Amino acid sequence: MSLQLGQNLIITATQLTLRVKYTTPVPFHGNVDSNIFLINSSNKISRDKDIIFFNQPNPPDHSIVTEDVPHESNISLDLTKIATDISKIAITIAISGDGDEAISALSSLTLVAENVAQFSPDIQRCNEKAMILAEIYRHDGGWKLHALGQVLSKGIESLAQNYGIGPSCHEPQTIATQPPAIISLERKLKERAPRLVRIAKTVIACLRKCQLQTEKAKVAFVLDASGSMSRQFSQGYVQAVLDRIAILSVGFNDDESLDVWAFGQQHAKYPNVTLDNLDGYTTSIQQQGERSGREILPGLGGRNNEPPVMEELIDTFYNSELPVYVVFITDGGINKTRDIKDAIRRSANYPIFWKFVGLGGSNYGLLEVLDTFTDRRIDNTHFFAIDDFSTLSDECLFDLLLEGFKPWLDKAREAQIL
């Protein structure tokens, strides 16, 4: 059954599958994002979890489960689990990205309610960037589907304003509490680190794949600045890795900041990284003083000494309320096995997970056999090596970075560490 604009239809099933399907011409420079808003009787969003956005995909009760595939967003609804204070469910799309495309730039757009109906709004004259495709609303103890096709001018901003988040051009609002963080990772990058926008969808896809899309974590970055890392710095690989960890930090942590340490023979804590100071960060810390000998960062010396910085990090985060995800970059030469084991063993009692990353080096020693290190409360480490960063795809990199984190979270919760 094909619905016409404005038509309403009674839904008799309690389980409903929706598919937002679209096609795009070539070239098409924008991104098409599906978003779901759970609306109260005042036509507003009540709380963060009532927004199912592409970096906050699913409610914890699984009343709504989403899956993005190329040119399609699939939405599974269990209407029996929708909170009683929710009056309607809005299915929306928004065009984002670097291009100027509007809804009219799409070749086709259809909302399919499986075994119920479908709705294909007229998009030829839609010069706006967002559309409320349909609303599913309560009616006489059941639910009805309303084919809406309402367009809004400014993409996700307009959708947010329409449901009471942020300023409205029609009437001023005072929001007493912190507004929900519905601005997508992609939009944050576009505004503050535009050169990294292209990576956003890869990050979100990998977080979903690893079942980490709803997890919150504090992120820390520990950088080997011994003399042998000189090539990794000069080729820009250290900055490139930092860029990607910073994006993960934004995805994991509401305060969007990344704690940074570096070590040679000595170690130091550096200013937190945010999207605002990310560009050229590694160059800026290299220029903070005079360097001598094989030093890369002033005052740290040219040799590697991992245990002291590990101990300082543990002292910093041992009582963290959030899990702490530590990315530890090294080019090898690991020889302080006993002291590193002691640090890892101690940290296993706390909410700290170590992701050791070998970057263009060798002789990773203990890091290559961490699976045999069983003398600790739980396994809180994972290691992988990158021989040549320039040949590694972002998807592969993020898959490797996230591997092992979800199993550790589950074990840490079971052990009441978290």
Residues 6+ apart with CB under 8 A from 365: 332, 334, 335, 337
Q: How far is residue 79's CA from residue 90's CA, in Å, rounded to a whole number?
A: 13
CA 86, 87, 93, 98 torsion: positive or negative?
negative
262-275 CB burial, b ≥16 within 10 A, e <16: bbbebbbebeebbb
Strands (E), 377-418: 381-386
pLDDT at 99: 66
Instruction: Report how far Cα 257 is from the mean position of its chain's Cα atoms.
Output: 13
Instruction: Report how far Cα 288 is from the mean position of its chain's Cα atoms.
Output: 31
Which of 164, 90, 177, 165 is closest to 130 using CA atoms?
90
pLDDT at 59: 67
Give, in order, the Cα–Cα distances in Å from 70 to each of 23, 42, 205, 374: 9, 35, 11, 42
Residues 6+ apart with CB under 8 A from 318: 347, 350, 352
Q: What are phi and psi of 210, to 5 degrees?
A: -90, 10
Q: Which residue has the tokens 């960063």?
A: 389
pLDDT at 272: 95
pLDDT at 80: 93
pLDDT at 174: 34
Residues 6+ apart with CB under 8 A from 360: 231, 232, 237, 331, 386, 387, 388, 389
Q: What is the DSSP letter of 137?
A: E
Low-confidence stretches of the chain (pLDDT < 70) are 48, 53-59, 97-99, 154-155, 165-184, 254
Query: How many residues does this entry show for the chain?
Result: 418
Which of 199, 238, 240, 203 is closest to 222 using CA atoms?
238
pLDDT at 170: 35
